[in-house]
Amino acid sequence: MLNHFLLCLGLTLAVELPLALLWGARRQDLLLCALANVLTNPVVVLLDLIFPAPWLLLLLECAAVGAEGIVYRLCARHIRAPVLLSLCANGCSFGFGLWMGGLL
């Protein structure tokens, strides 16, 4: 099970951090993006494993977008449109996860 958590987090970071870099995030802001994902991703993955329902996964992803967007807005130094970054980054990593899982 630990492998599943690490794989999900690794893929999320592999997608979202380069996107944040392209978005203009640098140094501390990239670290902030990584930390926000370390906090939100395992919760989403765990709840999806316990309660596997597509509608719940979508709700959990929306909660992750909101939580990360708030963290970026409150703590980031140089992220433009932090909530939009969170939405785009989470949408890309979610889509990538669906594609990797053969669902897209």
Per residue in 11-44, pLDDT (tens digit) is 999 999 999 999 999 999 999 999 999 999 999 9
Q: What is the mean pLDDT of residues 61-78?
A: 96
How large a percentage of the chain has pLDDT more than 90?
90
Please spell the DSSP secondary structure of the chain, one letter per residue. Answer: -HHHHHHHHHHHHHHHHHHHHHHT--HHHHHHHHHHHHHHHHHHHHHHHHS--HHHHHHHHHHHHHHHHHHHHHH-SS-SSHHHHHHHHHHHHHHHHHHHTT--
Q: How confident is the model at residue 72 (pLDDT cuts 50, 70, 90)?
A: very high
Residue 104: pLDDT above 80?
A: no
pLDDT at site 1: 84
Q: What is the pTM of this model?
A: 0.91
User: What amino acid is encoded at 46 in this protein?
Assistant: L
Residue ranges of domains in the chain: 2-100
